Each structure stands twice: as C-alpha cells, then as structure tokens.
Amino acid sequence: MDITSPVATGIKDPTTLPQTRIVRTFVQDAARLQGIQDITPASAPPETKTPDVPTPPAAHAPEMKEVPPAPAKESPMLVFPARTPVPVVPTQSEAARLSPQGPAALHTYQIDFAEHVKETNASPLSVLAAERDAQSASILHEQFRPSHTKQYIVLGVLLLALGGGGSYAAYRYLAPKTAVIFSTNVQSLIFADEQQELTGTSGETLQEAVRASTQQTLAQGGVRILYIATSTTDTVGKQTLPGKALIDALKLKAPDILLRNSLPESTFGILHAGEETRPFFIFKVASYESTFRGMLDWEATIATDLDLFYPPYPLAETTATTTDAGSVSQPVEEAPAPTFADETVSNTDVRVLRDETGRAIILYGYRDKTTLIIARDANAFTEIVQRLSATRQE
C-alpha cells in the first residue's frame, strides 16, 4: 500500500469533500460595493461524514519523502463564510426592471438628481454646491426673519414720533410769531422790584435811555435794575449781559483803574429815594486800594462827568430891592466851588459832594473792601446798604 495515498496518510480527498455553492448575482455585488447588502450564501446540503479508515501500523516504515501538496482545484465560485441571512432590497431601477408592470411612478432624490444633471449638463459638484447655498440662505432668512412683536414695537414708535412731530409743527405754526424769549437770569447784587432792558448803539444813546428811565414812575424806595442783552444763535432768543457790560457800554469818563478792577457782577439801576429818582452804581471791585485811589483822583471832575445822572439843584432866584429910582437887582455873590467831605452814613464812611446850600449832589463809599456804592444822597445810600444786607442774609 502506498503510504502517500490519502488513505494511508489520513488525508481526505478534497474532491470528495462537500462544497458550499454560492449563487452570485449582479445585484448582490452592487449592494456589497455600496455597503448596503452583505452576500448571503445559499443553503448547502448537510455535510456527509466519511467513516474513518484505520491505518495499519507500519512494520517497517521506509524513509518518508515530503510529498508536495496537490494543487487545489480552482473553484469557479467564491466561497464566503456563512452569515445571518438579510433580506435583499433591490434598487429602484432593478425593481422597475424586474416588475412586470414596468417602472413605478415614485421619484426619489437620486432620480431627480440624475435628471437635473442630464437636463442642465451640470456637474454633480456644482449641483451639490447650489443646493448647499440654497439651504444656507434659507437658514439665514429663518434666523433673521423679524418677529411680529418687533414689528408692533417699531410701528408704535413710529406712531409716537409722528404724533410728536405733528404737535410740534402745530405749535410752531399756531404760536404767536412775535413771542420773544428772554433769559430771566438778570444778575444783580441786590434784589430788585423791576427790570428794564436798554437798547442803543452808542454811549450817548444809552445815557439818554437811562435819563428817560428816571422819568418813569417808580414806587418810593423801589429799585429798577437796568441791563442790556445780546441776540443768541436762536433768532427768537436773547441773552442778558451782566451789569458791568452796561457800565462799559455807557462810555463814562471814569478812571481806567476803577473800570479795570470792576468785576462782571457789578450792578447799575434806578432808585427812588426821598424826593428824586436817580441812578446808582454798585461796583464789585477786585482791589480796594486801587479803586479808592482812582475815586480820589476822579473827585475833581466826577460832578461834571456824571451831571446827566446827578444834575445840580436849581439855583435860588435873584432878589430885587425897590427905590424911588426904580427896581434894582442885587448881584448874588458867587459861591465857592463845592468839594468832597468825609461823612458817615449807615455806619459807613462816605465822601459827599454838597452844593452851597448843603444839599448832596453825589456821594460814594465802601460797604466793605469789595463793594463800592455811588448814589445821589444819604437816603439812596441807606436804601442800597439795607438791600445788600438783606440779599446777603438770603
């Protein structure tokens, strides 16, 4: 017995072993390539066991030669391990081909995609890009689409704006055109009963306006503050200027040292005290020594420089005597020129200029180191001092 035979070696003949046959179709291959369907092997007949043939012991085993393995018989079919059967789902085109009724009327994305590419001669990449752009635009539009609540809010704001604009337009067209807005913040060192704006383009016209204001009725002890105003950028508005601006605009022949040391809040006005209504000055000064020295220098001409505000009193009539020869006028002796003298008014040291009859023409004095007062007489000076004290207490 040949020891190389399959019987002697115990190796079964491959040709006698049962084989598993797999039916391979085009549909299964396409599904496997697409990752959709695994190959399901066909059922195989049960394996038939071949009875084992006992191998006789070899008494004298000759030298064993390595027998080359027999070439495997080439199988015409692929052999795959058995797996769990999975139902085969044919593609739509395959189902349509196998259906006796012809292709179904169901359109899928794949069919529409293929038809669009065929009709427009477009590449698949361009079609996919166009679809992605359309999806992005749709998402962006959905994100930024205004809500109804926001629309209502915007509509309400517009209605309010239109209503306010209409009200303002009606006010502008129906309001009197002659209305002028003045600033009520007229600066003054004392409280006043009245306020009056002066107009004029020169010092002479303003001085004449001051003289005219003294002819207007004013209660006993009353104070009228005078001021000037300037036009603002608004055509219907004016801005009042401080009292120092009016004093400068009057072009008085006052010493420069006095004007330079006067502060903007200085006040100029009209006061009815005693039997007269005359102007008054309240200078807020920066230097007592400098302004007092200037006032002493001004004493020589102040009566003449301010004669429009503080005129001399009327002279007494000339007396006449009767004789046999007729009426003869007696000449009046010329009185000496009046000079300033030191006096005290309201516990304040003042300098007073009196005429030959002893009536005060003008006086000035310092209420304190920073407040210089120029007035007609002691009555006017006292009223101003009292108002300054009342204003400071407030």
Q: Rounded to an integer, what distance in angstroms lies between the CA atom of residue 224 and that of residue 226?
A: 6
pLDDT at 85 over 90: no
Mean pLDDT of 149-163: 83
Report which of residues 199 and 392 the model is more confident about. Answer: 199
290 vs 110: which has the higher pLDDT: 290
Other beta carbons within 10 angstroms of residue 39's beta carbon come to 18
Instruction: Indicate the range of 32-41, 120-129, 148-157, 352-361 predicted with least confidence.
Output: 32-41
- The SS3 of residue 105 is coil
How many CA atoms within 13 Å lie on the side-chain side of 89?
6
Q: Which one of 6-15, 75-84, 120-129, 195-204 scores highest in mean pLDDT?
A: 195-204
Query: Which pTM was predicted?
Result: 0.52
pLDDT score, position 361 = 95
Band of residue 107 on the pLDDT scale cut at 50, 70, 90: low
DSSP for 216-272, written as a single string: S---TT-EEEEE-EEE-SSTTEEEE--HHHHHHHTT----HHHHHTB-TT-EEEEEE
pLDDT digits (tens, 9 = 90+) for 261-284: 999 999 999 999 989 999 999 999
| Bridge pairing between strands 267-273 and 223-227 | antiparallel
Asked whether the beta carbons of 106 and 92 are under 8 A apart, the reply is yes
What is the model's pLDDT at position 224? Answer: 96
pLDDT at 302 over 90: yes
Among 127-141, 163-177, 199-213, 307-321, which stretch is predicted with the lowest mean pLDDT? 127-141
CA distance 164 to 170: 10
- Which pLDDT value is given to residue 20? 53
Nearest 10 degrees: CA dihedral of 282, 283, 287, 293? -80
Does pLDDT of 310 surpass 90?
yes
Residue pLDDT, tens place only, 23-45: 667 777 777 776 654 444 444 45
Residue 290: predicted pLDDT: 95
- DSSP 8-state class, residue 15: G
The pLDDT score that the predictor gives to residue 59 is 47
The predicted-structure confidence for 157-203, as pLDDT tens digits, reads as follows: 888 888 888 777 776 655 544 333 344 578 899 999 999 999 988 99
pLDDT at 218 over 60: yes
Average pLDDT, integer, range 209-215: 94
Which pair of tokens denotes residue 259?
Answer: 């004007």
What average pLDDT score do residues 75-86 get?
Answer: 54
Q: Is a pLDDT exceeding 80 seen at residue 102?
A: no
* pLDDT score for 38: 46
Average pLDDT over the chain reads: 75
The pLDDT score that the predictor gives to residue 164 is 82
Q: Residue 13: what pLDDT?
A: 53
Amino acid code (one letter) for 61: A
| pLDDT at position 178 | 37
Return the number of other C-beta atoms located less than 10 Å from residue 201's C-beta: 8
Mean pLDDT of 314-320: 63
Mean pLDDT of 117-137: 66
Share of the chain above pLDDT 90, in %: 40
- In sequence order, what E strands does the chain have? 181-182, 194-197, 223-227, 229-231, 237-240, 267-273, 276-284, 320-323, 326-329, 340-345, 348-354, 360-368, 371-375
| Adjacent-strand bridge partners of 321 | 328
Q: How far is CA 366 from CA 40, 222, 255, 285, 346, in A?
A: 126, 22, 17, 10, 11
Lateral strand order in the sheet of 276-284: 194-197, 223-227, 267-273, 276-284, 371-375, 360-368, 348-354, 340-345
**Which range scores top for mean pLDDT: 14-28, 117-131, 189-203, 308-322?**
189-203
